[in-house]
A and B are shown apart, each in its own frame.
Chain A
Amino acid sequence: MTIVEIGLPKRLVEMTLDGESVRVPEGATILDACTAKGKSIPTLCYGDTLKPANACRVCMVEVEGSRTLVPSCSRKVEPGMVVHTDSERTQHSRKLVLELLGSATDLSTTPHVDEWMSACGADPSRFGPEAETKLQPTIVDNPLYVRDYGKCIMCYKCVDACGDQWQNSFAISVAGRGFDSRISTEFSTPLPDSACVYCGNCIEVCPTGALSFKREHDKREDGTWDESAQTQTTTVCTFCGVGCNLTLHVQDNEIVKVTSPHESTVTHGNLCIKGRFGWQHVQNR
């Protein structure tokens, strides 16, 4: 995010990152420090527009003096901190977290996960063919978007986006406990009977493709979804005076999904039903 901070310049905090001395502004997270140094750390539940949920544990790093590994996405840098992002312990943790996730959920539409898995040699199949999974039928209960919770990693982002961090609709929550926990409306009622207003802000933040546009879902089903053939054009929504930015994803001269730039200082990637889904009239031919 490139929000311009106006106020007192921040003090710098000095730390050691993989043997190198680094200075970061006070309040920065270990992940911020890594990004500044060009080190890429895998993240899944971290969202650039959301408060860290700390749930996926794929971003864990080693901090000297700490009994356990720490989540780099949320742990703030403290003066003198000595951090290792690539020690044996962190590698083991990253590999196992990815293997555990991959053994229980369908990660086929989660970006980057293949690279991360091959980088650390993760093999989710080694828990055996009888390992319990979360695979389940996709829920298609409205014309706008579908929910394929077999792909859900329980990152809490959709719940946070729908709840008090952005949308304040509170249509969905985490229900159940442990391996049985799931994202759900009350009593699993279909979305049309729930508090959902179809802003699609949950789809915007979902890191796995568990939530997707019905259009995308249908095209994937019939084998015509082709990201390489898509263009992205950012424009301004014409429906009202707020003027949210829309990014139109177009394939074969047809809008297939709409996202919104997270950098927008006004809307941070959030839209309403009109901007997100109200584009059919554009392509009435």
Chain B
Amino acid sequence: MDLKLLDVEPTEAERVVVDLFTGMGRDQLLPALHAVNDRVGWISQGALNHICRVLHVPPAEAYGVASFYSLFSLSERPAKITHVCVDLACQVNGAKALCDRLTDELGPAGAKSGWLRSPCLGVCEKAPAALAFEAGEVAKEQLLAPTHAGEVIAVAAAGPSHVDGERAEVPQAGSPGLRLLKRVGVVDPESLDDYRATGGYHALRTALLLGPSGVIREVSDAKLMGRGGAAFPTGRKWDATAKQPVRPHYLVCNADESEPGTFKDRLLMEGDPFAVIESMTIAGFAAGCSRGYLYLRGEYPRALHLLRNAISKARERNFLGENIMGHEGFSFDIEIRRGAGAYICGEETAIFNSIEGFRGEPRSKPPFPVEKGLFGKPTVVNNVETLVNVPVILTEGCEAYTRVGTEGSTGPKLFCLSGNVSRPGVYEVPFGTTLGELLDLAGGVPPGRELRAVLLGGAAGGFVRPDELDLPLTLEDARAAGTTLGSGVVLVLDDTADLGSFLLRIAAFFRDESCGQCVPCRIGTVRQEEALHRLVGKRPLSTSAADLQLLREVGQVMRDSSICGLGQTAWNAIESALDRLGYAEEAAK
């Protein structure tokens, strides 16, 4: 392929960082874009051109990829930029007032004023949150959470300090009986020795003794279900991949975690990064993968730092690399890929396109990933939390594991509590705990307030009423109740919350995050938002009833005819607010 490039050259700084990719291929497109963004803060024509020359990518396609991600800018902007979260949990905790102050003092959000509105930053337990970024020879990022206008303005001016050092914290830290969170906030996340001293790498040793099919049997018998939202049996996925004769096989650990209200995977990665690495290694061994990709959302600087450290220490000690732990013939290594601001890249096939250097658009299924996934090869995609259950299963045995939780939903489960709740954070409970018990654990709504509703499962989930708190949190009970546990979001709204604005934010999220590939979602999410605006603002097209009808019809086509889960679920929460919380009647008044 002869490339026709633009007649624009990169700056010296851009050239230096891009030249490091010499000899590499298209799958380095996203890392190369990050490298330029980290160095200068935006992607100029000269820089994009040079990336294309070095990686041999047509400029139109590279432009298509770069413009897909919201963390990149293709027009000039300052090196310092602060992303201010305006999503669900932050909205409930004062994000609007924060943004109003910033608008007054810095000017309206945009490149000029140096701050931008951001979708969920994944730190909902410390809302409201902001992430300050400064490009340079060493790019700096600092999470501000919980924050206030004064701090955001000060950091926006002075620039962030280097990757911030706050330790991962969970309310239950150190409590007996924790399985997934047992090290989080307790064990030094940078120390491989501490990890091993607390049982780390026992499970991998067991796995190597059991052999791949033995591991798959344990995981299947443990009835481990995926924790990323779709609740697919993990053992079945691994088995289907392991059986594919085509080589190589790949493993992708899905750490894109961008569902509003979800932050459990971040806690696991920040609090117990070696466990993520060990779990991936076991999965790779079981499914016959020689290589694993850890796809980490772009807004998790601290997790990135800790995972990089964990991977390099694991390599030094032969827990990654060739003949791992002396096991002849078992080689496995892990590469971290940073996302760049696109919720859709967490979809299990969009993630492949993103890694391969294409636009992060979902592919049509069939073929399924176990057959044709990353680079067209059989691939296992698993969520971080799903994987971290595997060492627990191998250490305790599948029988002990199935005694935790219920018949249909085995094991421990992490829930992300945020919103109007006294002690927000990630909680580990056995499946089957009721919603009410979970809320009590987190201290319930702040004193003097009354519970209004709980958003369960995230923006793609649904609402539950205060009279439904006896709902046992299991996959089967949630399904029977017409809702979902999704990614474990439990976002609490009390009587001070503004439900209309909350729903509008959900609608805006789906409109912003639609990849745009298919009509029902690309246009439907826009029409949904418009109709909801009219309903909430009491400015109906003709009557509120007609707008409600329009919403329902658009919702139905999104659910029926969208390509992927994003469009298919974009109407769920809004529908449940209308019907389950009675917002339909309120809006029609």
Could you tell me if A181 and B522 are in contact, using CB atoms closer than 8 angstroms? yes
Could you tell me if A177 and B342 are in contact, using CB atoms closer than 8 angstroms? yes
Does B1 belong to the interface (CB within 8 Å)? yes
Q: Which residue of A lies closest to B66 (CB)?
A: A175
In the bound complex, residues from chain A placing their C-beta under 8 Å from that of B7 are: 193
Does A16 belong to the interface (CB within 8 Å)? no
Checking B6, B64, B520 against A97 with a beta-carbon cut-off of 8 angstroms, the contacting residue is B520
Does A54 belong to the interface (CB within 8 Å)? yes
Could you tell me if B516 and A96 are in contact, using CB atoms closer than 8 angstroms? no
Checking A126, A178, A186 against B514 with a beta-carbon cut-off of 8 angstroms, the contacting residue is A178
Does B356 belong to the interface (CB within 8 Å)? no
Could you tell me if B519 and A100 are in contact, using CB atoms closer than 8 angstroms? yes
Chain A, range 168-193, C-beta contacts under 8 Å to B: 168, 170-181, 184-187, 189, 193
- Comparing B251-259, B286-294, B309-317, B554-562, the segment that makes contact with chain A is B554-562
Could you tell me if B522 and A184 are in contact, using CB atoms closer than 8 angstroms? no
A39 to chain B, nearest CB (A): 19
**Distance of A226 Cα from B546 Cα, bound (Å):** 41
Does A113 belong to the interface (CB within 8 Å)? no
In the bound complex, residues from chain A placing their C-beta under 8 Å from that of B67 are: 175-177
**Distance of A69 Cα from B556 Cα, bound (Å):** 11
A195 in contact with B61 given A92-B556, A127-B530 (CB within 8 Å): no
A71 in contact with B364 given A173-B61, A189-B6 (CB within 8 Å): yes
Does A212 belong to the interface (CB within 8 Å)? no
Q: Mark B462-491, 1 if CB is under 8 A from A, else 0.
A: 000000000000000000000000000000
**Which among A92, A96, A103, A194 has the greatest number of chain B C-beta atoms within 10 A?**
A96
B45 to chain A, nearest CB (A): 6
**Distance of A132 Cα from B524 Cα, bound (Å):** 11
Does A55 belong to the interface (CB within 8 Å)? yes
Q: Which residue of A lies closest to B549 (CB)?
A: A126
Chain A, range 84-102, C-beta contacts under 8 Å to B: 89, 92-93, 96-97, 100-101
A194 in contact with B60 given A68-B561, A180-B516 (CB within 8 Å): yes
Does A60 belong to the interface (CB within 8 Å)? yes
A184 in contact with B60 given A54-B563, A57-B518, A57-B519 (CB within 8 Å): yes
Could you tell me if A131 and B519 are in contact, using CB atoms closer than 8 angstroms? no
Does A271 belong to the interface (CB within 8 Å)? no
Does B58 belong to the interface (CB within 8 Å)? yes
In the bound complex, residues from chain B placing their C-beta under 8 Å from that of A29 are: none
Could you tell me if B559 and A68 are in contact, using CB atoms closer than 8 angstroms? yes
**Distance of A174 Cα from B518 Cα, bound (Å):** 13
In the bound complex, residues from chain B placing their C-beta under 8 Å from that of A93 are: 520, 556-557, 560-561
Checking A170, A173, A184 against B1 with a beta-carbon cut-off of 8 angstroms, the contacting residue is A170
In the bound complex, residues from chain B placing their C-beta under 8 Å from that of A131 are: 526-527, 530
**Distance of A104 Cα from B60 Cα, bound (Å):** 25
Does B359 belong to the interface (CB within 8 Å)? yes
Does A74 belong to the interface (CB within 8 Å)? yes
Q: Which residue of A lies closest to B68 (CB)?
A: A177
**Distance of A175 Cα from B59 Cα, bound (Å):** 11
Could you tell me if B527 and A154 are in contact, using CB atoms closer than 8 angstroms? no
Checking B516, B531, B562 against A178 with a beta-carbon cut-off of 8 angstroms, the contacting residue is B516
Q: Which residue of B lies closest to A181 (CB)?
A: B516
Does A211 belong to the interface (CB within 8 Å)? no
Does A130 belong to the interface (CB within 8 Å)? yes
Could you tell me if B557 and A96 are in contact, using CB atoms closer than 8 angstroms? yes
Q: Which residue of A lies closest to B364 (CB)?
A: A54
A46 to chain B, nearest CB (A): 13
Q: Which residue of A lies closest to B44 (CB)?
A: A187
Could you tell me if B520 and A127 are in contact, using CB atoms closer than 8 angstroms? no
B357 to chain A, nearest CB (A): 13
Checking B58, B518, B522, B554 against A179 with a beta-carbon cut-off of 8 angstroms, the contacting residue is B522
**Distance of A16 Cα from B92 Cα, bound (Å):** 52
**Distance of A101 Cα from B523 Cα, bound (Å):** 7
Q: Mark A93-123, 1 if CB is under 8 A from B, else 0.
A: 1001100110110000000000000000000
**Distance of A163 Cα from B556 Cα, bound (Å):** 34
Could you tell me if A128 and B541 are in contact, using CB atoms closer than 8 angstroms? yes
Could you tell me if A104 and B516 are in contact, using CB atoms closer than 8 angstroms? no
**Distance of A96 Cα from B549 Cα, bound (Å):** 12
In the bound complex, residues from chain B placing their C-beta under 8 Å from that of A58 are: 519
B488 to chain A, nearest CB (A): 22
Does B3 belong to the interface (CB within 8 Å)? yes
Chain A, range 181-216, C-beta contacts under 8 Å to B: 181, 184-187, 189, 193-195
The binding surface of chain B is classed by DSSP as helix
Does A248 belong to the interface (CB within 8 Å)? no
**Distance of A163 Cα from B359 Cα, bound (Å):** 14
**Distance of A240 Cα from B348 Cα, bound (Å):** 48
**Which among B67, B530, B541 has the greatest number of chain A C-beta atoms within 10 A?**
B67
**Which among A71, A172, A174, A180 has the greatest number of chain B C-beta atoms within 10 A?**
A174
In the bound complex, residues from chain B placing their C-beta under 8 Å from that of A171 are: 4, 58, 60
Does A161 belong to the interface (CB within 8 Å)? no
Could you tell me if A177 and B516 are in contact, using CB atoms closer than 8 angstroms? yes
A96 in contact with B59 given A194-B4, A195-B4 (CB within 8 Å): no
In the bound complex, residues from chain B placing their C-beta under 8 Å from that of A56 are: 518-519
Chain B, range 1-16, C-beta contacts under 8 Å to A: 1, 3-4, 6-7
In the bound complex, residues from chain A placing their C-beta under 8 Å from that of B60 are: 170-173, 184-186, 194-195
A92 in contact with B519 given A60-B561, A178-B514 (CB within 8 Å): no
Could you tell me if B519 and A101 are in contact, using CB atoms closer than 8 angstroms? yes
Could you tell me if A178 and B511 are in contact, using CB atoms closer than 8 angstroms? yes
Chain A, range 66-81, C-beta contacts under 8 Å to B: 68-69, 71, 74
In the bound complex, residues from chain A placing their C-beta under 8 Å from that of B560 are: 60, 68-69, 89, 92-93
Could you tell me if A195 and B59 are in contact, using CB atoms closer than 8 angstroms? yes
Could you tell me if A195 and B522 are in contact, using CB atoms closer than 8 angstroms? no
Does A153 belong to the interface (CB within 8 Å)? yes
Does B525 belong to the interface (CB within 8 Å)? yes
**Distance of A168 Cα from B60 Cα, bound (Å):** 12
Could you tell me if A168 and B1 are in contact, using CB atoms closer than 8 angstroms? yes
In the bound complex, residues from chain A placing their C-beta under 8 Å from that of B45 are: 186-187
Could you tell me if A154 and B522 are in contact, using CB atoms closer than 8 angstroms? yes
In the bound complex, residues from chain B placing their C-beta under 8 Å from that of A178 are: 511-516, 522, 525
**Distance of A181 Cα from B511 Cα, bound (Å):** 12
A181 to chain B, nearest CB (A): 3
Q: Which residue of A lies closest to B514 (CB)?
A: A178
Does B389 belong to the interface (CB within 8 Å)? no
Q: Which residue of B lies closest to A62 (CB)?
A: B560
A31 to chain B, nearest CB (A): 14
In the bound complex, residues from chain A placing their C-beta under 8 Å from that of B359 are: 174
Q: Mark B41-79, 1 if CB is under 8 A from A, else 0.
A: 000010010000000001111111001101000100000
Q: 26 interchain pairs (CB within 8 A)?
A: A55-B517, A55-B563, A68-B559, A69-B560, A93-B556, A93-B561, A96-B554, A100-B520, A100-B523, A127-B527, A153-B519, A154-B516, A154-B519, A163-B61, A170-B1, A171-B4, A173-B58, A173-B61, A178-B511, A178-B516, A179-B523, A181-B516, A186-B48, A193-B6, A195-B3, A195-B58
Shortest 5 CB-CB distances between A and B: which pairs? A170-B58, A181-B516, A173-B64, A96-B557, A186-B59
Which A residues are closer than 8 A to B by beta carbons? 52, 54-58, 60, 68-69, 71, 74, 89, 92-93, 96-97, 100-101, 103-104, 126-128, 130-132, 153-154, 163, 168, 170-181, 184-187, 189, 193-195
**Known A93-B557, A173-B63, A179-B522; 6 more pairs at CB < 8 Å:** A54-B364, A55-B517, A68-B562, A185-B59, A186-B59, A187-B45
